[in-house]
Amino acid sequence: MNKKGFIFDLDGVIVDTAKYHFLAWKKLAKSLGINFTEEENEQLKGVSRIKSLEKILAWGNKTISQDEFTALMANKNTEYLGYIAEMDENEILPDVQRVLDMLIAKKQPISLGSASKNARTILDRVNLRSHFNAIVDGNDVSKAKPDPEVFLVAANALSIKPEACIVFEDSVAGVQAANAANMVSIGIGSATILHEANFVFNDFTEISDEFLNTLITN
Ligand code: B16
Ligand code: MG
């Protein structure tokens, strides 16, 4: 049987953790007297933790010491982990389980390709870790999306050539990273925002088994 490498982003694709990132960043911003909006949070999707804090400080016109920066990052993550600790299978986004089960039934290699350093914890919370043949996250790479590193490392971990990999992504930076890796990019979200993707669906309920079969055979 044909084997393709299926690479899933985590936040915004498998689970909606953006809302928890928002709450944690909002609290941090407030402590600095910065008004952080949901629109700004949108721009942090797929962006690493360090880059996210740099952006928030720039939006708020704040300069802080390196020590304070490090302390704020740690505080934000502790706050975020508090929300993550409450997660369970109910937070898996619609039809993600169906798509994963279908790909597993078709013996397709599956990897995670996420910028998050908390990816393994989240997969454990929602009981999906065993569905993945490989997990590549923010702990395994040094270059953030739109650099293709995270997806190239995932392809390598699956022993599948990049050209034979398919990436599911909700962020613009992630779609650009998949394209730069020479992979098929599938945007999950708004077609207007993710117009650089090869295909775009609002969510996994729109992705049929027939479409997945075409990806496997072509
Ligand atoms: P953490 P993804 C990304 O995950 C999120 O979209 C982004 O908002 C977050 O800042 C980044 O992970 C780092 O997350 O603080 O948990 O290491 O979408 O690439 O799965
Ligand atoms: Mg994402």
**Angle (deg, nearest 10), helices 209-217 and 96-105:** 40
pLDDT in tens, the chain (218 residues): 789 999 999 999 999 999 999 999 999 999 999 999 989 998 999 899 999 999 999 999 999 999 999 999 999 999 999 999 999 999 999 999 999 999 999 999 999 999 999 999 999 999 999 999 999 999 999 999 999 999 999 999 999 999 999 999 999 999 999 999 999 999 999 999 999 999 999 999 999 999 999 999 99
With 0-12 / 13-18 / 19 or more C-beta atoms within 10 angstroms meaning exposed / middle / buried, residue 85 is: exposed
Pick the CATH number of 18-84 from 1.10.3720.10, 1.10.150.240, 1.20.1250.20, 3.30.559.10: 1.10.150.240
Q: Which ligand is nearest to the CA of 113?
A: 1
pLDDT tens-digit map of 129-140: 999 999 999 999
Residue 210 C-alpha to ligand 1 middle, in angstroms?
31
Is 46 a pocket residue for ligand 1 (Cβ < 6 Å)?
A: yes
With 0-12 / 13-18 / 19 or more C-beta atoms within 10 angstroms meaning exposed / middle / buried, residue 158 is: buried
Measured from the Cβ of residue 210, the count of other Cβ atoms closer than 10 Å reads: 8
**pTM score:** 0.95
Q: Which amino acid is at 195?
A: H
Measured from the Cβ of residue 121, the count of other Cβ atoms closer than 10 Å reads: 15
pLDDT tens-digit map of 74-105: 999 999 999 999 999 999 999 999 999 999 99
Q: Which residue CA neighbors atom 8 of ligand 1 most closely?
A: 45
Q: What is the pLDDT of residue 138?
A: 95
- Three-state SS for 201? strand
Spell out the CATH class of 5-16+93-217. Answer: alpha beta
Q: Which of 116, 139, 141, 194 to mutate to test the pocket of ligand 1 (most atoms within 8 A of CB)?
A: 116
**Length of the chain counted residue by residue:** 218
Residue 173 C-alpha to ligand 2 middle, in angstroms?
9
Say how far apart CA 115 and CA 119 lie, in whole Å: 8
Q: And the tokens for 25?
A: 């960043």
Say how far apart CA 72 and CA 65 lie, in whole Å: 11
- Domain limits, the chain: 5-16+93-217, 18-84
Is 207 a pocket residue for ligand 1 (Cβ < 6 Å)?
A: no
Residue 11 C-alpha to ligand 1 middle, in angstroms?
6
Q: What is the pLDDT of residue 42?
A: 87
